[in-house]
Chains A and B, each alone.
Chain A
Amino acid sequence: MTGKEHIRILMGKPGLDGHDRGVKVLTLALRNEGFEVIYTGLRQSPEAIVRSAIEEDVEIIGISCLTGNHNYLCSQVLKQLREKGVRDILFILGGIIPEDDIPYLKKIGVDAIFGPGSHVADIVKFIRENARN
């Protein structure tokens, strides 16, 4: 992987949440920005998301959750990453995430959280500035 134009991203929806409008339009928007984005579809287990992320050699995993189960699901994805010895994947969360949960999520290793009303430009900026080269 060379250069920021080749940043690869895996977008996933863990759990049973079917609200996929956000994750789908963001997938298209990020592709439009020149990133390579893979969206795995609904009801992916944390194991499956991490497996795909490793297989696809992505720099970033983006998880979307709108049902309030983000704390548990994020902790499971991060646990899987740790168990597989992955340390250099940036982990981003989007969805309806209450303020109260943010300190916990940051503590367990979520790198960025984009809640309701987030702008695509801010997400793009974060990725460009933080993805590994």
Chain B
Amino acid sequence: MSERKNPNKLQEKREFKTRSGIPVKDLYTPSDLKEWEYAEKLSSSGEYPFTRGINPASERINWRISQYFGFGTGKSTNEFLKYVLAQGAQHLVIAFDLPTQCGYDSDNPASHGEVGKIGVAIDSLQDVESIFEGIPLEGRSLSPGGSNGIGPIVLAWMLALCEKQGVSPEKVRFSFQNDPLKEFISRGAYVFPPKQAVKFAVDVVEYCHRKGFDLTSPIMFCGYHMREGGASITQAMAFTLANAVAYLDELQNRGIKVDEFKGGLEIFLTGGEDFFEEIAARRAFRRMWAKVMKERYNCQNPKRLKAFLQEYTMGSRMTAQQPLNNVIRCTIAAMAAILGGANGLIVSSYDEALGLPSPEALRVALRTQQIIAEESGIANTSDPLGGSYYVESLTDEIERRATELFERVEEMGGALAAIENHFYQNEITRTAYHDLMDIESGRRTVIGVNKYEVEEEKTVKPMKKVTFVEERRQAQSLKKLRRERDNDQVQRSLMRVKEAATEKVNLIEPILEAVKSHATLGEICNVLSELWGRYEQGGI
């Protein structure tokens, strides 16, 4: 047998590259860090340019351990919410079903078969109230999941819920995703066209600022979905930053200096198993962020210079073959995120390629983080890999490549232009295609998929069946709601939303009134789409 075929030999000697294509040398030495200055490139943890982390070294191990879930009706999500809280989750991320994310009511024909499927169905304030039945909001940290195309409506639901619970919204730590731009690039949960979508999203940011909701992050700049859609780490970093600039420019246009903005700004990233590249990328991203905030927006406020990284390990790296192997993949990705200085983390469920996560898989995902946090010791000191010849040269190279791409987007007119001319979409699809071809041809190994395969029973498990029970239940309660609410008041409040949109003023107050009058999500989106239209994507 030739050596080439020896299955025990790990990898043949060849040129190694990181997942995004950066060549990797056999050994890194001081000569790789010539003219490399500690103070300029790293500085201490918690100090500009924040390569080593945003927190002072004394506060090092303090990431937010989170879980993502939600399905069915408000009631079923409420039960699950209570279960997850009892398991020790500190931050709750609630998934909305697709009709909700896309701005359709549950009884809209477009929603058929999707109601309550990949998240909880929300049509009106009633559903929101039932999700949080018996769960006080005060002091809680929570992300109402898919609030992208419909950010202002989700904020209004939360404000109305606070009012009902008699708690001041200032005392809740909300994280709204509220990043519609990435929906045009990947994932596709868009509602309105890009230009209007940016303004709609910034209404949330502006409102939270003017109301002084310091604890709340009204927008999260998302690289996650672009990467899951196929982007490389450098593409995801560059495009996330360019999208952030589009929103922040709009905020400045409304007379709010980024430096004076009161709330939180979060960045949502994801990573896989390319361990050192993932670690280096996070360090590079914080440096890029700090530079853009300082140079473009003249920020002095340390809060604005610090990139708060919420992470979620990559679901698309979960394989359907030998699914338990995914526990290892998640562990590697989670360790990379933590060593890269993540501030919040969600770990994927090992059965994600097979359907919605089982409770067991959700628990393993949570335990993965808890073992890293409480047993491994990897988080006992800040940025333990800082100063490594390899990690530092990789950090510099990733920063150089991502910065170049970011500048290219800026030169073509920024995020909106890059969406309109399909630059983002084409770049990402090309990367995804090469990725697939690398796996198909065996150039890249995926254990269990193109190497070390075993005969196994196909285990794609029954997903939560579409029984239409929840859809019927939602439709019935909508019918009842439309019958029992004060429909004159609903119409008046919807008119006010439309007037405000025509006047191009901030829409949160009128939408809050509409939400409180029990106008539905679909009704609010419809009055706005009469003015703005709904976005339609073309093919390729």
Q: A68 contacts which of B186, B189, B228, B464 (Cβ < 8 Å)?
A: B464
Q: B113 contacts which of A41, A69, A100 (Cβ < 8 Å)?
A: A69
Which residues of B (340-365) have their CB < 8 Å from a CB of A?
353-356
Report the interface size for chain B: residues with CB under 8 A from the other chain.
49
Determine whether the beta carbon of B229 is less than 8 Å from that of A69.
no
Assess A42 versus B99: contact at CB under 8 Å? Given A29-B433, A67-B117, A72-B466: no
- Is B102 on the interface with A (CB-CB < 8 A)? yes
The complex places the Cα of A120 from the Cα of B463 at a distance, in Å, of 25
Determine whether the beta carbon of A41 is less than 8 Å from that of B539.
yes
Which residues of chain A are within 8 angstroms of B460 by Cβ–Cβ distance?
Answer: 96-99, 115-116
- Is B436 on the interface with A (CB-CB < 8 A)? yes
- Is B391 on the interface with A (CB-CB < 8 A)? no
Which residues of chain B are within 8 angstroms of A100 by Cβ–Cβ distance?
Answer: 462
Chain A CB within 10 A, most for which of B104, B183, B321, B463: B463
Assess A115 versus B188: contact at CB under 8 Å? Given A15-B113, A15-B114, A72-B466: no
Determine whether the beta carbon of A16 is less than 8 Å from that of B99.
yes
The complex places the Cα of A35 from the Cα of B320 at a distance, in Å, of 28
Which residues of B (422-444) have their CB < 8 Å from a CB of A?
429, 432-433, 435-437, 440
The complex places the Cα of A20 from the Cα of B461 at a distance, in Å, of 22
Determine whether the beta carbon of A39 is less than 8 Å from that of B102.
no
Summed over the interface, the residue pairs from A and B with CB atoms below 8 Å come to a total of 121
Assess A98 versus B462: contact at CB under 8 Å? Given A15-B114, A72-B112, A117-B353: yes
Which residues of chain A are within 8 angstroms of B104 by Cβ–Cβ distance?
Answer: 16
Report the interface size for chain A: residues with CB under 8 A from the other chain.
36
- Nearest-neighbour CB distance to chain A for B324, whole angstroms, equals 15
- Nearest-neighbour CB distance to chain B for A74, whole angstroms, equals 11
- Nearest-neighbour CB distance to chain A for B40, whole angstroms, equals 38
Which residues of A (37-96) have their CB < 8 Å from a CB of B?
38-43, 67-69, 71-73, 96
Which residues of chain B are within 8 angstroms of A15 by Cβ–Cβ distance?
Answer: 98, 113-114
Considering only CB atoms, which chain B residue lies closest to A72 in the complex? B113
Fill in one digit per residue for A94-125: 1 if any B CB lies within 8 Å of its CB, else 0.
00111111000000000000011101110000
Determine whether the beta carbon of A68 is less than 8 Å from that of B463.
yes
- Is A19 on the interface with B (CB-CB < 8 A)? yes
Which residues of chain A are within 8 angstroms of B537 by Cβ–Cβ distance?
Answer: 41-43
- Is B316 on the interface with A (CB-CB < 8 A)? yes
Which residues of chain A are within 8 angstroms of B232 by Cβ–Cβ distance?
Answer: none
Which residues of chain B are within 8 angstroms of A67 by Cβ–Cβ distance?
Answer: 98, 114, 117-118
Determine whether the beta carbon of B466 is less than 8 Å from that of A25.
no
- Is A18 on the interface with B (CB-CB < 8 A)? yes
Q: A96 contacts which of B113, B187, B319, B353 (Cβ < 8 Å)?
A: B353
Q: A18 contacts which of B188, B464, B540 (Cβ < 8 Å)?
A: B188
Determine whether the beta carbon of B320 is less than 8 Å from that of A16.
no
Which residues of chain A are within 8 angstroms of B118 by Cβ–Cβ distance?
Answer: 67-68
- Is B110 on the interface with A (CB-CB < 8 A)? yes
Determine whether the beta carbon of B462 is less than 8 Å from that of A25.
no
Considering only CB atoms, which chain B residue lies closest to A40 in the complex? B539
The complex places the Cα of A5 from the Cα of B33 at a distance, in Å, of 54
- Nearest-neighbour CB distance to chain A for B432, whole angstroms, equals 5
The complex places the Cα of A24 from the Cα of B434 at a distance, in Å, of 12
Assess A96 versus B540: contact at CB under 8 Å? Given A21-B186, A21-B432: no
Considering only CB atoms, which chain A residue lies closest to B356 in the complex? A68
Considering only CB atoms, which chain A residue lies closest to B448 in the complex? A117
Chain B CB within 10 A, most for which of A42, A72, A115: A42
Which residues of chain B are within 8 angstroms of A41 by Cβ–Cβ distance?
Answer: 536-540
Considering only CB atoms, which chain A residue lies closest to B435 in the complex? A25
Which residues of B (479-500) have their CB < 8 Å from a CB of A?
none
Q: B436 contacts which of A39, A43, A115, A120 (Cβ < 8 Å)?
A: A120
The complex places the Cα of A38 from the Cα of B102 at a distance, in Å, of 25
- Is A36 on the interface with B (CB-CB < 8 A)? no
- Nearest-neighbour CB distance to chain A for B352, whole angstroms, equals 9
Which residues of chain B are within 8 angstroms of A40 by Cβ–Cβ distance?
Answer: 539
The complex places the Cα of A17 from the Cα of B104 at a distance, in Å, of 13
- Where the two chains meet, the residues of A that have a C-beta atom closer than 8 Å to any C-beta of B are 15-21, 24-25, 27-29, 38-43, 67-69, 71-73, 96-101, 115-117, 119-121
Show 27 residue pairs from A and B whose CB-CB distance is below 8 angstroms, ordered by the A residue. Answer: A16-B99, A16-B104, A16-B189, A17-B98, A18-B98, A18-B186, A18-B189, A20-B188, A21-B432, A24-B432, A25-B230, A25-B429, A27-B540, A29-B433, A29-B440, A39-B539, A43-B188, A43-B536, A67-B117, A68-B355, A68-B356, A68-B464, A96-B460, A115-B320, A116-B319, A116-B320, A120-B436
What are the 6 tightest A-B residue pairs by CB atom distance, in nearest-first order? A18-B188, A116-B320, A69-B113, A16-B98, A41-B539, A72-B113
New A-B pairs, 19, CB < 8 Å, besides A16-B98, A99-B462, A117-B320: A16-B110, A16-B189, A17-B98, A18-B187, A20-B186, A24-B230, A25-B429, A25-B432, A25-B435, A39-B540, A41-B536, A67-B117, A68-B466, A69-B113, A69-B117, A100-B462, A115-B320, A120-B436, A121-B440
